[in-house]
Amino acid sequence: MKKIIFIISIIVLSSQLFSEEIIFFQGIMSKLGEPDTVTGEIPRTDETSIESQVEYVHNKYLNKDTVVIAHSQGGVRALGYAYKAQKNVKALITIGSPVKGYSPLVVGENVLMSRIDKVVGDLSGGLSALLLGPYSIPPVRLNSNNAFGIMDAFGFEDPLLNNIKTGEIFNKEGIKDLNPNSDYFKNYVNPKLAQKSFKKLVKYKKKLVRKVKYVKVGWFRVPKVSFSWTYGYKYVTKNYVVPQNRIDSSIPIGFIVGTQNDPIEFLDSKGQQTARKVSSGLSIAFDVGNVFHTAYGVLTKPIFWTNTSRNYFRNAKACRTAKRLVANPEKILGDIFGSTANDSFILESDQKRSLTGLGGTPIGKNGEFYVRKNVNHLQEMSDDEIWGIGDNYSLSKGAFDKGSQIEKWLSYQNIYKTSGTVVK
């Protein structure tokens, strides 16, 4: 009998430990949702609102216990899903996700495009200064439209760049919802404002009373009139607003923050070697160009301080500006995003947020709820420290290994599965 009870206990315990389903949310431009009734195409996550994505996933896993692991835009979707599913979410981990919103969107399309234009202009200006050589001609600065035209001429195609080129990226629902000020963040992520009231006993003026007092003035008695209030007490209702977290306080939450901000790291090993050599060579060339044009500017200044010498100095400055970018490639994206502290796409400050005002509880030991990893936005999907060692462990394959950051956090929460389903 004892053996039977022991076996039943083991079965019950196992069902509790392994009852959760691990689901993976992919990032921007992945496919998610019901196929189109006409074309059969599954919509991309940049094309549909994040709210509709949340509703789709919530209905798909209705009343099921889930563990959510998400990357990039998927993490923003995961926060909304946790708000809808509440205690059915047994743990939530985001990787390189703008959980505070994608702050570069706050400045608006015009400012972002002007930043891109400036970077393109700085680089092209330095290159034109090198090509001009001894000629006293102002540096030629291209803009983003010129750069996109050159890429088109060479047949370079990229969906994200094409969206930036056409300006469509700023009108897509799944991208607009990433703005920290969007209705999605107000209604699904940020604290909701609940109105509460209480009764307070207050003193109030009840009645104005006239009093007459006679005072002696010389041989006469003169009336002196005064007024005073009588007071009463009554209860009044006072209203006030209290912020309430969207996510249940029992849900373990962890943020993995990418910090590799060098865009060259996006290339494969061979491409990186080539890019480093080109970057090093251009850096030296810009130094030489700076010295050359400065010297010409100094030599021509005593003779004719006109546009001739001014153009030489302008070319020298263009070389110095371009050298700053090629010698430190992270500054290219930093100038566009507004900070060099990023994972080559998402600012570090956007990838984590305080649980106060969000909800949940720290997922790791000693109150740990975020870790920083030296990986860029692309590497976050398959990094060994995050997912484990081996080709079988990555977001796209829906699995992770023992010893990985994900496994450490989940095992601390007594969740021992190491594979799951990529949500589509």
Percent helix, strand, coil in the chain, to 5, is: 45, 25, 30
Cβ 319 vs Cβ 126: under 8 Å: yes
14 plus 53 within the same structural domain: yes
87 plus 9 within the same structural domain: yes
Please report whether residue 212 resides in a domain. yes
Q: Which of 139-143, 242-246, 349-353 has the highest mean pLDDT?
A: 349-353
pLDDT > 80? residue 215: yes
Cβ 261 vs Cβ 344: under 8 Å: yes
403-412 pLDDT, tens digit per residue, is 999 999 999 9
Please report whether residue 182 resides in a domain. no
Higher confidence at residue 305 or residue 182? 182
141 plus 280 within the same structural domain: yes
323 plus 201 within the same structural domain: no
Q: 3-class DSSP state for residue 90?
A: strand
Adjacent-strand bridge partners of 242: 194
Q: What is the pTM of this model?
A: 0.83
How far, in Å, CA of 315 to CA of 285, rounded?
A: 13
pLDDT value at residue 153: 67
Please report whether residue 335 resides in a domain. no
- Nearest to 103, CA basis, from 331, 353, 324, 329: 353
How far, in Å, CA of 286 to CA of 280, rounded?
A: 10
pLDDT > 80? residue 87: yes
Please report whether residue 211 resides in a domain. yes
159 plus 212 within the same structural domain: no
How far, in Å, CA of 351 to CA of 102, rounded?
A: 9
HSE-CB at 336 with a 13 A cutoff on CA atoms is 21
Pairing of strands 192-217, 220-244: antiparallel
Show the domain range for 409: 2-102+249-255+344-422
Please report whether residue 333 resides in a domain. no
111 plus 97 within the same structural domain: no
154-178 pLDDT, tens digit per residue, is 666 666 666 666 667 788 999 999 9
8-46 pLDDT, tens digit per residue, is 444 444 444 457 899 999 999 899 999 988 888 999 999
Please report whether residue 322 resides in a domain. yes
282 plus 232 within the same structural domain: no
Please report whether residue 339 resides in a domain. no
Mean pLDDT, residues 92-111 taken together: 94
Higher confidence at residue 234 or residue 22? 22
- Nearest to 71, CA basis, from 103, 20, 28, 21: 28
* Residue 13: its H or E element: helix 2-17
Angle value at C-alpha 343, between 337 and 347, nearest 5 degrees: 45
C-alpha distance across the termini of the chain, in Å: 47
Go through the chain and tell me how many residues it has. 424
356-405 pLDDT, tens digit per residue, is 999 999 999 999 999 999 999 999 999 999 999 877 789 888 999 989 99
310 plus 359 within the same structural domain: no
pLDDT value at residue 224: 83
pLDDT value at residue 277: 93
90 plus 111 within the same structural domain: no
90 plus 150 within the same structural domain: no
366 plus 406 within the same structural domain: yes
203 plus 163 within the same structural domain: no
pLDDT value at residue 160: 61
pLDDT > 90? residue 303: no
Adjacent-strand bridge partners of 194: 242
Please report whether residue 183 resides in a domain. no
pLDDT value at residue 302: 67
Cβ 325 vs Cβ 123: under 8 Å: yes
Adjacent-strand bridge partners of 362: 253
**For a pLDDT cut of 90, what percent of the chain falls above it?**
57
CA-CA-CA-CA torsion sign (6, 9, 11, 14): negative
- Nearest to 92, CA basis, from 67, 62, 55: 67
pLDDT value at residue 135: 78
- Number of folded domains in the chain? 3
Three state DSSP letters for 254-322: EEEEECCCCHHHHCCHHHHHHHHHHHHHHHHHHHHHHHHHHHHHHHHCCCCCCHHHHHHHHHHHHHHHH
Residue 16, phi then psi, degrees to nearest 5: -75, -40
Q: 3-class DSSP state for residue 360?
A: strand
Mean pLDDT, residues 65-88 taken together: 97
The CATH number given to whatever domain includes residue 97 is 3.40.50
